[in-house]
Structure 1
Amino acid sequence: MTDNEDGFEEFRDELRQVEHRVASRIDPGMRAVRIAVAVLVVLVTSVLPWVGDAVGWQVLFGAAKVGLLPVLFAAFLLGVGVLGSGLTLALRNWTLAWVCAVGGCATAVLGMLSIWTQQTGKSNKVPGPGPGFGLVIAELAAIALAVMWVKIASSRR
């Protein structure tokens, strides 16, 4: 091979690498602001009542006995909703966007089950404390995050 052909092959390899980097990035646009607002709502709900008098951070750290599902929901909401969303927005990685989308859907399902168990579970005395408004708002924020991440992750061509 001549020097021109070697140089062209190097250029072609570099072009493939750049194409791969560009293809693996997302551009959330205005959804990034909406995601940030939803994350802020999630953080605010950590000081609102979730179950009876127990607030969100007490549920997360096990300071209140509320059952397993609200604790799982709080952990998923913190892990996927707050930390995952922040990391994905910072790195703008398409794979992380899919992780947030799938994790957000799982979080939304856990939130619905958490609300349901607080209304009907045997762990509560009749009539039981029921879900607090903080838990309901956290669930709405989780649904919003899941929908936004699914739209961003599936928007890649």
Structure 2
Amino acid sequence: MLSEAYEDRREREVLRRIDPGARALVIAVVMLVLVVCSLLPWVGDAAGWHVLTGQADPGLKIGLLPRLFAINSTIAGLGLGALALITRRWVVAFLAGLAAVVVAFEGMIAIWSRQTSGQAGPGIGLVLAVLCMVVLAVQWMRIVWSRP
């Protein structure tokens, strides 16, 4: 009786965990590229970390969407992604994937808002950051759906 309870508990524990395998390396590299993107220009001459911290030139009229994308990509792309890689919990990986999908769409809208603003357009850092979020979303969802 005691061994059955132990086996049930062990089985539940195995089902709660993920094994990202080689995708963990891909995710880690993309997260590093996301950090590097914050050093590149996002809007005009303003780097991503300027947009994130609100220190960009007010004359650029960056607006809410690029700043919101910067904040959420840091939280979802780096924070939740690192937490999911460290804990290897299915729930955290699912949240990281779901958040990455939402933030990737948010980034696409941020690029669109910069293209239609009549001000400085999106920089290479913003475009690369959106691509990083798309890759992270795909990788996390592939891990989540591969669970036995």
Same fold (TM over 0.5): yes
Q: 1:116 aligns with which of 112, 127, 130?
A: 112
1:6 matched to which residue of 2?
none
* RMSD over equivalenced CA pairs, Å: 0.9
The answer as to 2:55 corresponding to 1:59 is no
Tell me the TM-score normalised to structure 1 length. Answer: 0.89
**How many residue pairs align between the two structures?**
144
- For residues 3-152 of structure 1, the aligned pairs below 5 Å read 9-64=1-56, 65=58, 66-121=62-117, 126=118, 128-152=119-143
Q: Alpha-carbon deviation of 1:58?
A: 0.8
SS of the residue corresponding to residue 29 of structure 1 reads coil
CA-to-partner distance for each residue in 1:72-104, whole Å, 9 max, x for gaps?
A: 111111111011111101110000111011100
Q: Alpha-carbon deviation of 1:11?
A: 1.2
Tell me the TM-score normalised to structure 2 length. Answer: 0.94
- CA distance in 1 between counterparts of 2:20 and 2:98 reads 17
Larger Rg: 1
Unaligned runs of 5+ in 2: none
Q: Alpha-carbon deviation of 1:10?
A: 1.5
Percent identity, please.
44
- CA distance in 2 between counterparts of 1:103 and 1:154 reads 15
Q: Alpha-carbon deviation of 1:14?
A: 1.1
CA-to-partner distance for each residue in 1:20-58, whole Å, 9 max, x for gaps?
A: 111110011100000001000000011100001111011
- CA distance in 1 between counterparts of 2:2 and 2:72 reads 45
Deviates more, 1:9-18 or 1:110-119: 9-18
Q: 2:22 is matched by which residue type in structure 1?
A: M
Moved >2 Å (runs of 4+): none
